[in-house]
């Protein structure tokens, strides 16, 4: 992929050692027979799919989870041969390609199996197609909802001439990151009722995302889909404490591109929403909402020389302005995510200001921000 932004001093830095630390911590807690698959969808939650996958493999991950087929194909093209599960529904027309590339897919209906079987037969595909049956226990997204419909699918997969390899069965919990476990227990009961109609469970039985594994470890099954915690982010935000120290892997830095003295009474940016009530030093930072740095972050802050500096005026598409405590040189480092001196700005604090979750902030960081990797 062509990176457009290499000649601007604004970049995302990814600490691969932090990713390995987070995996190592989870590896020490899990059952030795339970596998850890790294969830690297959405370009590794904005961190970089290939680099994260390679680091996760080095730390002990034995497989990968993605959201769409193209992400799985990217991992294969990068030379990764481990099992890969596509968690979203993939169109049956791609069944021959999926089988050829030895990729596993989520299946949530008998209709999908019927259509995929026809496509595989028409294309004379010899390789088995690996499938994980998705069970909708209360997430309401994809999957079999009743024991009766699940039993039909399991019977289809058990046929002697089936083109499918019944490799896994799974569900996804909607509230595993909440202190109140009422709905979690409801889903767990639904899961037990559904799998009761499966005479012989497949190789992989998995229900645990990061939150489930962190706070409901007894439910892990024999595979963990290790997602947001892989990147050092707490799935619950600030509601629950993680059982070990998560190390955030991502930081975002820039440099001041322009510094000026702004006279009292003058305004800044679109809409003139900020007017100086005294003479002020203003720095321009070459980043904006086209980079995924939200327009609604006006009034938030960055770090310059270890001091918090308020974002004044509206964040523009490619630039924004901050109020400086004193004149500093052009080229001075600006920390938007990460630490500078004794101060820190976390993805969580940005998410709190925006009224959202840190997942959205990380995933929203645009491709034109170069990713720089360190150990």
Question: 185: which 2 tokens?
Answer: 């227990």
Task: Report phi then psi at 332, rounded to 5.
Answer: -65, 135
Does the annotation list 317 as a binding residue? yes
Q: Which of 220, 243, 180, 230 is nearest to 359 (CA)?
A: 230
- DSSP per position, 228-272: GGGGT--TTTTSS--SS-----EEEEEE--EEEEE-TT-EESGGG
Q: Is 321 annotated to bind ligand?
A: no
Residue 106, both tokens: 């989520």
Residue 215, SS3 per DSSP: helix
Half-sphere exposure of 111 (CA within 13 A, CB side): 5
Task: Give Cα separations from 305 to 49, 312, 314, 321, 347 (angstroms).
Answer: 32, 18, 23, 16, 19
The token duo for 182 is 């009422």
Q: For residue 67, report the phi and psi dihedrals to the nearest 5 degrees.
A: -100, -35
Question: Which helix (H) or strand (E) is 284 found in, with range?
Answer: strand 280-285
Catalytic residue among 41, 274, 293, 359: 41
Query: Catalytic one among 155, 192, 261, 270?
Result: 270
Are 337 and 347 a contacting pair, CB within 8 Å? Answer: yes
Q: Indicate if 41 belongs to the active site.
A: yes
Residue with tokens 């595993």: 176
In angstroms, the CA 316 to CA 293 distance is 9
Tell me if residue 260 is catalytic. Answer: no
Tally of CB atoms within 10 A around 141: 13
Q: Which residues are catalytic?
A: 41, 270
The binding site for substrate consists of 141, 317
Instruction: Give the residue numbers of the binding site.
Output: 141, 317
């Amino acid at each position: 992929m062509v990176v457009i932004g290499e000649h601007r001093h604004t970049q995302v830095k990814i600490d691969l050692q932090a990713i390995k630390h987070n995996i190592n911590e989870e590896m020490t807690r899990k059952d030795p027979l339970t596998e850890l698959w790294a969830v690297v969808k959405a370009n590794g939650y904005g961190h970089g799919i290939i680099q994260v996958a390679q680091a996760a493999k080095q730390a002990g991950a034995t497989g990968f989870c993605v959201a769409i087929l193209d992400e799985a194909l990217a991992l294969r093209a990068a030379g990764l041969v481990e099992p890969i599960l596509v968690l979203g529904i993939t169109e049956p027309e791609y069944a021959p390609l999926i089988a050829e590339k030895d990729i596993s897919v989520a299946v949530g209906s008998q209709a999908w199996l019927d259509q995929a079987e026809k496509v595989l037969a028409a294309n004379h595909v010899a390789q088995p197609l690996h499938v994980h049956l998705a069970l909708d226990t209360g997430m309401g997204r994809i999957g079999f909802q009743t024991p009766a419909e699940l039993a039909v699918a399991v019977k289809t997969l058990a046929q002697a001439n089936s083109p499918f390899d019944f490799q896994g069965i799974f569900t996804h919990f909607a509230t595993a990151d909440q202190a109140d476990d009422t709905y979690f227990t409801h889903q767990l009961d639904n899961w037990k009722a559904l799998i009761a109609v499966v005479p012989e469970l497949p190789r992989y039985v998995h229900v645990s995302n990061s939150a489930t594994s962190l706070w409901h470890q007894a439910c892990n099954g024999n595979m963990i889909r290790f997602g947001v915690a892989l990147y050092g982010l707490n799935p619950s935000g600030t509601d629950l404490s993680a059982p070990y120290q998560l190390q955030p892997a991502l930081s975002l830095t820039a440099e001041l591109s322009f510094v000026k003295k702004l006279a009292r009474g003058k305004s800044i940016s679109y809409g003139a929403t900020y007017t100086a009530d005294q003479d002020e030093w203003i720095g321009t930072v070459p980043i904006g909402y086209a980079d995924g740095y939200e327009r609604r972050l006006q009034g938030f802050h960055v770090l310059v020389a270890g001091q918090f500096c308020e974002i004044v005026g509206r964040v523009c598409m490619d630039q924004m302005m901050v109020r400086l405590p004193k004149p500093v040189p052009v080229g001075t480092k600006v920390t938007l995510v990460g630490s500078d001196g004794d101060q820190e700005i976390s993805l969580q604090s940005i998410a709190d200001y925006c009224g959202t979750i840190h997942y959205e902030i990380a995933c929203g960081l645009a491709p034109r921000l170069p990713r720089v990797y360190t150990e």
